[in-house]
C-alpha cells in the first residue's frame, strides 16, 4: 500500500468518526430541553431517554481525538496543543455532563438537581457550539506557524508548530463564520435530540405538542445559520496546493475553492445532496405528519452523510484541511501532517477490526435501551 493511499484512507476514517460524532450529539441537543420545562415528568422522561446514550457520544469524541493524534499528529499537536483554551472548554463541558448524569438523582448530592440540569444544558449548548467552531477551523484556518527545521536545529525547544495568537484558541470562538457553524451544530443537535425523544419516549399529546413547537423553532433557526455558513464557505477564497518544499507548501489562492471542491467531485456532491435531503425529510415528516416518530433515523443518517461530505471538501482535492492564516505556507494537508508510512500501515491493519467495534456499539446501544 502506498503512503498516498493510506493518507487518503485515514482522512476518510477521520471523516466517518466526525459524522458519527455529530449524529450522536442528539444527546447534547436533548439536554437543551431541560431548562424551563413546564412539567417535571417530562424532564424525567427526557433524562431517562438520553441517559443511557451519553457514554457513546463521549467515547466517540475521544476516539476522534485519538485517531487524529495517531494518523495526523502534526494537526493534533498544532490544534490541540496551540488552541488549548478552546479544547479545554470543550472538555470541561463534557466532564460536567458525566458528573451530572452520575450525581443529579443521588440523595444528598452536593449541588442539587437544578444545578446539574444547568450543567447538562451548558454541555448541550456551549459544548456543541465550541465543537462546531473547532470544526470550522478546517475551512477558515487558525493563526499558527510550522517550522520543521526546528527538529534538526540546535534549539533547546525543538517545537515544530507555534501558535501565533496569545489567546490560544479563544480567538476562534469570536470568528464570525465559526460562530455560524457552531450555532448551526448546536441547533441541529437540538433538532436531533427532539426527534430522538419523540421516537423513544412515546410522548403523550401535550408533551409531543410542546416538543413540536420547539422543533419548528430549532429547524427554522438551524436553516438560517447553516445556509449562512454555506453561503460564506462556498464564496470564500481558499488555498490550492501546487507543491511541497522543506519549508512548507507552495500554493495559489483559488476563488470559490470549496464550491469547486463540491461540484468537482460527483461522490461529494451526491453525498451532501442525499445528506441534506434526509435531514429535511426527517424534520418535515415529524413536523407535518401527526404521530410520526421515525424522523430521527432519516435526519441522523442525513447528518452523518453531510458531515462526511464537509470533511471531504475540507481535506481532498489538494486542499489544506487546516489552513494557516498568518503563514499560508505552513498550512496542513493530509500529506504533510500525517504519520509515517509504517505507522499508517500498522493502523490500517488494526482498522480492519472496525466492524467488530461497530457491532459492539450496536449491541451496547440495544442493550442500554
- At 154, the pLDDT band (50, 70, 90 cuts) reads low
10 pLDDT band, cuts 50/70/90, is very high
pLDDT of 155 reads 56
DSSP 237-294: -EEEEEEEETTEEEEEEETTHHHHHHHT-HHHHHHHHHHHHHHHHHHHHHHHSTT---
- The Cβ-side half-sphere exposure at 43, using a 13 Å CA radius, reads 17
What was the pLDDT predicted at 71?
Answer: 92
pLDDT of residue 158: 65
Tell me: the pLDDT tens digits for 62-72?
888 888 888 99
Confidence (pTM): 0.92
- Better-predicted residue by pLDDT, 26 or 109: 26
Q: How far apart are CA 17 and CA 185, in angstroms?
A: 16
Mean pLDDT of 151-158: 57
Q: What is the pLDDT of residues 303-362, one digit of tens each?
A: 999 999 999 999 999 999 999 999 999 999 999 889 989 999 988 888 887 777 778 777
pLDDT in tens, 264-316: 999 999 999 999 999 999 999 999 998 899 999 999 999 999 999 999 999 99
Whole-number mean pLDDT of the chain?
90
Model pLDDT for residues 190-200, shown as the tens digit of each residue: 999 999 999 99
135, 229 in Cβ contact below 8 A?
A: no
Q: How open is the CA angle 207-211-213, to the nearest 5 degrees?
A: 120
Pick the closest to residue 163 from 325, 315, 320, 321 (CA basis).
325
Task: Pick the range with the lowest mean pLDDT from 28-42, 142-156, 288-302.
Answer: 142-156
Q: Which tops the pLDDT comparison, 210 or 59? A: 210
Q: Is the pLDDT of residue 131 over 80?
A: yes
pLDDT of 63 reads 87
Distance between first and last Cα of the chain: 42
What is the predicted pLDDT for the residue at 57? 87
* Dihedral sign from CA coordinates of 89, 93, 99, 104: positive
Q: Residues 6 or more apart from 140 whose CB is under 8 A from it?
A: 175, 177, 178, 236, 323
DSSP string, 147-190: -GGGGTSS-SS--SEEE--TTTTHHHHT-HHHHHHHHHHHHHHH
- Convert the pLDDT of each residue in 95-117 to its tens digit: 999 888 888 877 777 777 888 99
| Backbone phi, psi, residue 58, to 5° | -65, -40
Query: Which of 57-61, 150-154, 231-235 has the weakest average pLDDT?
Result: 150-154
153 pLDDT exceeds 80?
A: no
The position carrying cell 419516549 is 201
- 235 band by pLDDT with thresholds 50, 70 and 90: very high
Amino acid at each position: 500500500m502506498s503512503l498516498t493511499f493510506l493518507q487518503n484512507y485515514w482522512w476518510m476514517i477521520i471523516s466517518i468518526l466526525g459524522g458519527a460524532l455529530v449524529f450522536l450529539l442528539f444527546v447534547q441537543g436533548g439536554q437543551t430541553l431541560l431548562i424551563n420545562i413546564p412539567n417535571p415528568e417530562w424532564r424525567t422522561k427526557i433524562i431517562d431517554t438520553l441517559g443511557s446514550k451519553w457514554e457513546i457520544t463521549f467515547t466517540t469524541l475521544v476516539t476522534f481525538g485519538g485517531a487524529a493524534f495517531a494518523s495526523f499528529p502534526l494537526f493534533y499537536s498544532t490544534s490541540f496543543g496551540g488552541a488549548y483554551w478552546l479544547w479545554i472548554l470543550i472538555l470541561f463541558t463534557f466532564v460536567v455532563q458525566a458528573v451530572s448524569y452520575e450525581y443529579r438523582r443521588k440523595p444528598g448530592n452536593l449541588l442539587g438537581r437544578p444545578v446539574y440540569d444547568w450543567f447538562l444544558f451548558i454541555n448541550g449548548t456551549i459544548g456543541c457550539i465550541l465543537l462546531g467552531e473547532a470544526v470550522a477551523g478546517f475551512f477558515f484556518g487558525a493563526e499558527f506557524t510550522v517550522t520543521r527545521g526546528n527538529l534538526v536545529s540546535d534549539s533547546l525547544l525543538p517545537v515544530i508548530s507555534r501558535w501565533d495568537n496569545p489567546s490560544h484558541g479563544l480567538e476562534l470562538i469570536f470568528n464570525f463564520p465559526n460562530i455560524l457553524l457552531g450555532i448551526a451544530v448546536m441547533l441541529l443537535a437540538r433538532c436531533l435530540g427532539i426527534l430522538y425523544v419523540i421516537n423513544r419516549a412515546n410522548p403523550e399529546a401535550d408533551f409531543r405538542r410542546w416538543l413540536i413547537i420547539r422543533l419548528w423553532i430549532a429547524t427554522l433557526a438551524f436553516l438560517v445559520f447553516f445556509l449562512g455558513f454555506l453561503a460564506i464557505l462556498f464564496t470564500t477564497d481558499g488555498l490550492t496546493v501546487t507543491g511541497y518544499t522543506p519549508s512548507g507548501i507552495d500554493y495559489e489562492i483559488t476563488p470559490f475553492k470549496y464550491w469547486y471542491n463540491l461540484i468537482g467531485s460527483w461522490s461529494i456532491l451526491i453525498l451532501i445532496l442525499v445528506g441534506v435531503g434526509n435531514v429535511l425529510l426527517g424534520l418535515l415528516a415529524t413536523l407535518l405528519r401527526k404521530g410520526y416518530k421515525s424522523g430521527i433515523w432519516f435526519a441522523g443518517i442525513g447528518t452523518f452523510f453531510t458531515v462526511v461530505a464537509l470533511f471531504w471538501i475540507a481535506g481532498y482535492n489538494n486542499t489544506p484541511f487546516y489552513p494557516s492564516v498568518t503563514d499560508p505556507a505552513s498550512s496542513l494537508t493530509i500529506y504533510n501532517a500525517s504519520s509515517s508510512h509504517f505507522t499508517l500501515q500498522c493502523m490500517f491493519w488494526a482498522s480492519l477490526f472496525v466492524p467488530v467495534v461497530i457491532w459492539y456499539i450496536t449491541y451496547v446501544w440495544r442493550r442500554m435501551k
